[in-house]
């Protein structure tokens, strides 16, 4: 009965135009597969774009929010989980995702990648800079994948799901 | 876009036969209204019964789990949120619910009622003993409602939702 | 090497004059024993009074704060632990205390008592109303103690510590 | 009244001999300054070594534990804070530290650095590899400092404390 949840993490206010475009496309493709999209739930950057992408094809979207009230929530989030625990909620984001996709980079996103690796999750890095690739691939060579486009991200996600006991 | 989430809290291993029966019925009626059911997600007592009730009419069920892996999860939960934060996750349960229904009593359930009241949420107590009624009604007279059957619980839930800014 | 930590919980803004007086006295007596005082750390009510009492005899005081910055902290707290997790920090308060003393009543305090009982901790209720006594003694008859003055609270605390594997 | 808390983060089971030696020395020097040492509190690697170093000169040591019981705690920890929230407690570690020192590298340590940077804290990286230096210095150039010995770590810590509103 348990649904497949794919987590898309990435910068909020500081997301680049490419991060946002990738996130929207990812959200759309994840929902098309029938998977549930999980993000940090706020109405900015990668979280918002991925959620809007998923809703554009009637997907189901979850937002794990750092706050306790409805200010600043993405309108494209269906299921709002209010943690009121700030950035500590990043651990919940990754523990609840079957696969974690990092779409862009920043301190918050990097904390999610680290917590995912600490929890022995597979992480896909999409369009991140060279320093990030080098750092994370050295940190956890078996659990980190580097890709440069949305299609390969999706192919890799399917492959990981096939090899994971869900 | 945000869906209405109704939280049903109650004992796990120590749930009575009546708690379990009420929970199943509540889950079913909540799902029939098109609302999402939120519970603590484990495969025992009120959590499990409410989730099974909701699934019996194809509802959507969320489980906010105290753990980080899939052991002990109710099979009737669609969306598994792994918090790995034990009973501190009780605060997330109630903050994420538009209305909180306590179905039976125990230390964990009582903590959820208290945290809900602390967060200024409305709480419906279904079939709880006299000591619980007296305690919680004195603690928060404006936010606590006492009922004795599932039908009145549902009527009251609708009334609260009508008067709440969701 | 591990120090004995005694948690004093109670209302903040809504504490009564008696709660505050009891808390100050408790803080003082706890520190006199060489025990560490743990509270919720804010500069109001029972938390503040207990911490000031402990400092009046050069005790060591810990505050487990709901926030992430220094606004609203009691000046009598030595060790500030910033959780940024709101009321979910109540679980940390009680898990970290060898004995939990509730000094007065309110929704937050009640949540701490419940979480303590859920975690199988002993809880002493000092000067709480009849409804609270009846409720908690029925909820966990073996772990709840009711007393009416600070001296008995201290005597009971010593007794519990003697019988607890710390 | 609030004491200065210095957080020393680093690998547990996977700490290198140099990490452990640095951590012990750091703990000793931090305690000598009259500062409180904060670690993750377990009886392995950097956490344990730093705590033992601090206790060797009668310092005060805090452990923010991921668990809820006393198994696996460093014997050199005075104040045990039980969070029962796994790696989400990493956020508490860094929010509670005036300065964060990373002594060695791993997924958990990296998550602490990221959460510290997200919370706008200064972080000193001691003896970390080139990939880590490049990654974190690019991520937050104004808040990350790279050093290669314990003496420079201490000098830098003092400098940061002088410029920080505590």
pLDDT single digits (tens) C49-71: 999 999 999 999 999 999 999 89
Share of chain D above pLDDT 70, in %: 99
pLDDT single digits (tens) A44-68: 999 999 999 999 999 999 999 999 9
Q: How far is the first Cα of chain A from the last one, in angstroms, to the nearest whole number?
A: 11
pLDDT at B166: 52
Domain extents in chain A? 5-163
pLDDT at D164: 80
More confident residue, D132 or D163: D132
Structure confidence at residue A4 as a pLDDT band (50, 70, 90): very high
Residue C47 exposure: Cα atoms within 13 Å on the Cβ side: 26
- Pick from D78, D91, D95: CB nearest C3: D78
pLDDT at A164: 80
Three-class DSSP category at A56: coil
Average pLDDT over residues B127-150: 97
D5-161 — its CATH code?
3.40.50.450
Structure confidence at residue D50 as a pLDDT band (50, 70, 90): very high
Share of chain A above pLDDT 90, in %: 96
What class has domain A5-163?
A: alpha beta
Mutate to test the interface with C, among B12, B110, B116, B121 (most CBs of C within 10 A): B110
C166 pLDDT more than 60: no
Question: Could you give the CA distance from residue C35 to residue C98 in angstroms, rounded to a whole number?
Answer: 10
pLDDT single digits (tens) C92-117: 999 999 999 999 999 999 999 999 99
pLDDT at A123: 98
ipTM: 0.97
Structure-block tokens of residue D76:
């050199």
C127 pLDDT more than 80: yes
Name all chains with 3 or more CB-CB pairs below 8 Å to chain B: A, C, D
pLDDT at A165: 61
C149 pLDDT more than 90: yes
pLDDT single digits (tens) A15-41: 999 999 999 999 999 999 999 999 999
Q: What kind and span of H or E run contains B63?
A: strand B61-65
Question: Could you give the CA distance from residue B144 to residue B137 in angstroms, rounded to a whole number?
Answer: 6
C5-159 — its CATH code?
3.40.50.450
Contact A6, A29 (CB under 8 A): no
A134 bridge partner residues: none
pLDDT at B165: 61
Share of chain B above pLDDT 70, in %: 99
Structure confidence at residue C1 as a pLDDT band (50, 70, 90): confident
Q: What kind and span of H or E run contains A103?
A: strand A99-103
Average pLDDT over residues A3-23: 98
Mutate to test the interface with C, among D92, D100, D164 (most CBs of C within 10 A): D92
Stretch 98-127 of chain A: residues touching chain D, C-beta under 8 Å: 105-108, 110-111, 114-115, 117-119
Q: Choose among A7, A3, A2: nearest CA to A91.
A: A7
Question: Could you give the CA distance from residue C27 to residue A97 in angstroms, rounded to a whole number?
Answer: 45
pLDDT at D52: 98
pLDDT at D70: 87
């Amino acid at each position: 009965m348990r649904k497949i949840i794919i987590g898309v993490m990435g910068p909020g206010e500081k997301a680049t135009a490419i991060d946002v475009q990738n996130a929207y496309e990812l959200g759309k493709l994840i929902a098309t597969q029938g998977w549930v999209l999980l993000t940090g739930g706020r109405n900015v950057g990668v979280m918002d774009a991925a959620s809007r992408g998923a809703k554009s094809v009637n997907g189901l979207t979850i937002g794990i929010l750092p706050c306790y009230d409805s200010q600043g929530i993405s309108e494209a989030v269906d299921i709002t989980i209010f943690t009121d625990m700030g950035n500590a909620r990043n651990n919940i984001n990754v523990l609840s995702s079957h696969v974690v996709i990092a779409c862009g980079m920043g301190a918050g996103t990097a904390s999610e990648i680290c917590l995912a690796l600490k929890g022995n999750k597979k992480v896909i890095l999409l369009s991140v800079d060279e320093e990030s690739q080098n750092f994370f691939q050295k940190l956890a060579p078996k659990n980190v994948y580097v890709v440069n486009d949305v299609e390969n991200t999706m192919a890799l996600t399917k492959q990981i799901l096939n090899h994971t006991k869900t």
